[in-house]
Structure 1
């Protein structure tokens, strides 16, 4: 990790809530931003911020998401998510998250990510896959 990764570093992303980001179980008139898609967008925003402060061969994985989804955003509305590094403890990075649409706040919370060495992680996952294959018989 680079020394530029410090508490207070922040980034904002804006996008339109498209059909793929919405729920469908309440009918067309009630298509709103789905919480699982909001979580995905938060993870992507945090990862993209981190990538600017990581060394070659490093990436990050999510380890915790804690949000309050406090406002419904309609299909076609714009959203702005702001993610801010709250703490860095070794390879563990904590983020504060907030987001809003054109009308109101929609989310607040925290997200944690862990910086990993991509090659070492691939080796560890390959070993786990081999172990799972052996256990499956």
Structure 2
């Protein structure tokens, strides 16, 4: 009996990305507040970067993923100079819909938790459709 190949995108794929917080990452800089700590939009961007990295080497040729839905709880402030890490795990594949659980930490402290949904799309068709719509 021949082994079935593992599907390219299956639950369990993970990735971790890091960011050392600079002045350009603060809430003041990105317009999401007036305090000099890591801004929520940058936390979200880091979480999404981890989801992209989790599937980057497993995508079918000509495909990409696009973000479709996000739930994010930003729980702790992170000052400039600290390094945060986002870890994403693909927890569900439903056709072209991919669901990730994400945790962002600063050492042992949980900075944010969330869920990110992405859709698997044909890169060229997606871009062509977006250009036509504009």
Q: Does TM, scored on the shorter chain, surpass 0.5?
A: yes
TM-score (norm 1): 0.83
Asked whether the equivalents of residues 48 and 116 of structure 2 are also in contact (C-alpha less than 8 Å), the reply is yes
Aligned residue-pair number: 125
Structure 1 runs, 4 residues or longer, greater than 2 Å off: none
**Which of residues 20, 41, 56 is equivalent to 1:16?**
20
Structure with more helix by fraction:
1
Per the alignment, in what secondary structure is the counterpart of residue 119 of structure 2?
A: strand
Unaligned runs of 5+ in 1: 130-137
Unaligned runs of 5+ in 2: 1-5
Query: CA-to-partner distance for each residue in 1:88-130, whole Å, 9 max, x for gaps?
Result: 011110000001102511011100000110111122223323x
**Which of residues 117, 123, 132 is equivalent to 1:112?**
117
Asked whether the equivalents of residues 69 and 116 of structure 2 are also in contact (C-alpha less than 8 Å), the reply is yes
> Could you tell me how far apart the structure 1 residues matched to 2:131 and 2:85 are?
38
Moved more, 42-51 or 120-129: 120-129
Per the alignment, in what secondary structure is the counterpart of residue 127 of structure 1?
A: helix
Q: Which residue of 1 aligns with 2:83?
A: 78
Largest Rg, 1 or 2: 1
Counterpart mapping for 1:1-137 below 5 A: 3-24=7-28, 26=34, 30-102=35-107, 104-129=109-134
Per the alignment, in what secondary structure is the counterpart of residue 76 of structure 1?
A: coil
Give RMSD over aligned pairs: 1.6
TM-score (norm 2): 0.85
